[in-house]
Amino acid sequence: MAGSENQKFCLQEVLDSFQLCLSPNKEVYVERYLAGWRGLVKFLNSLGSVFGFISKDAVSKIQILVNFLNSENGSQYATVQTMVKFELDNKLVDVDKKGICPESGCRTLLRLHRALRWLELFLERLRTSKEDDKTSVMCREAYNESLAQHHPWVVRTAAGMAFFALPGRPAFFEVMNVGPPEQVVAILGKAVPLISEVYLITEELYLKHNLLDLP
Ligand SMILES: CCCCCCCCCCCCC/C=C/[C@@H](O)[C@H](COP(=O)(O)O)NC(=O)CCCCCCCCCCCCCCC
């Protein structure tokens, strides 16, 4: 996996990772979840340095979770479900306000989880878009409906400016690297429900444990 951020992006690979990240009893494997995110970071990197501040943040969050996976408690981080149980049981989560555990697995994964909702909304717009629809508009709408609510003004402004640099729909489809537009749309038709399922399972788990507002 080392250095994979520099290889060519392929949407199918991301789809495969998110597909493999659900266990038969619908637990979410952290390693596969992160593999999906690595693939997305690869995509973002191929769009240019304007998006560097976004991919940098995603990479640092992926790295925090990789470090947990590689730690002596690594097996407790195998799935999102075991991670939540382990961190809560051992009081490793800042439940009220930032303090002792500012970089817990739970709060770190929550940031990626919120971004996954943005991705779901964005990809659904992309899937149903017409040839001359603007990716920047689709991206902004998806962002405003999801992640923006969790970001301060300065981050929202920087993100809003970056969206203007997004390539148009044809070039965007090209970078996805899965063939002609009909094929992209077909793959998106498989990817969106999958991403949505992973999102919902995590959302319900976090809701059940009152973790959705972790600082
Ligand atoms: C393709 C266009 C990409 C646009 C990406 C839209 C999301 C915009 C996110 C802007 C984040 C700005 C960076 C900073 C974020 C942090 O402040 C903030 C809070 O963290 P903290 O509580 O530790 O402080 N971090 C976050 O919310 C996590 C953001 C993670 C964003 C990952 C985005 C990856 C995008 C991948 C694009 C893939 C496109 C897919 C096409 C097939």
Q: pLDDT tens for residues 158-201? A: 999 999 999 999 999 998 888 999 999 999 999 999 999 999 99
Distance 108 CA to ligand 1 centre (A): 12
Q: Kindly state whether residue 130 falls inside one of the protein's structural domains.
A: yes
Ligand 1 site, residue 53, Cβ cutoff 6 A:
yes
Q: Kindly state whether residue 145 falls inside one of the protein's structural domains.
A: yes
Ligand 1 site, residue 211, Cβ cutoff 6 A:
no
Three-state secondary structure call for residue 79:
strand
Do the beta carbons of residue 39 and residue 176 sit within 8 Å? Answer: no
The stretch 91-119 carries a mean pLDDT of: 92
Q: What residues make up the domain containing 56?
A: 9-208
Predicted TM-score (pTM) of this structure: 0.95
How many structural domains is the chain composed of?
1
Distance 114 CA to ligand 1 centre (A): 9
* 86-101 residue pLDDT tens: 999 999 999 877 778 8
Q: Kindly state whether residue 196 falls inside one of the protein's structural domains.
A: yes
Q: Kindly state whether residue 87 falls inside one of the protein's structural domains.
A: yes
Contacts made by residues 134-141, CB under 8 angstroms, sequence distance 24+: 134/168, 134/169, 135/166, 135/167, 135/168, 135/169, 135/172, 136/163, 136/164, 136/166, 139/163, 139/166
Ligand 1 site, residue 214, Cβ cutoff 6 A:
no
Q: Kindly state whether residue 35 falls inside one of the protein's structural domains.
A: yes
Report the complex ipTM: 0.98
Residues 109 and 198: their CA atoms lie apart, in Å, by: 13
What is the structure's pLDDT at 3? Answer: 45
Contacts made by residues 82-86, CB under 8 angstroms, sequence distance 24+: 82/27, 83/30, 83/109, 84/205, 84/206, 84/209, 84/211
What secondary structure letter does DSSP report for 28? B
Q: Kindly state whether residue 1 falls inside one of the protein's structural domains.
A: no
* 125-153 residue pLDDT tens: 999 999 999 999 999 999 999 999 999 99
Ligand 1 site, residue 127, Cβ cutoff 6 A:
no
Q: Kindly state whether residue 3 falls inside one of the protein's structural domains.
A: no
Contacts made by residues 35-40, CB under 8 angstroms, sequence distance 24+: 35/1, 37/62, 37/112, 38/1, 38/4, 38/5, 38/62, 39/9, 39/10, 39/13, 39/14, 40/14, 40/119
| CATH code for the domain in which residue 113 is found | 1.10.3520.10
Q: Kindly state whether residue 214 falls inside one of the protein's structural domains.
A: no
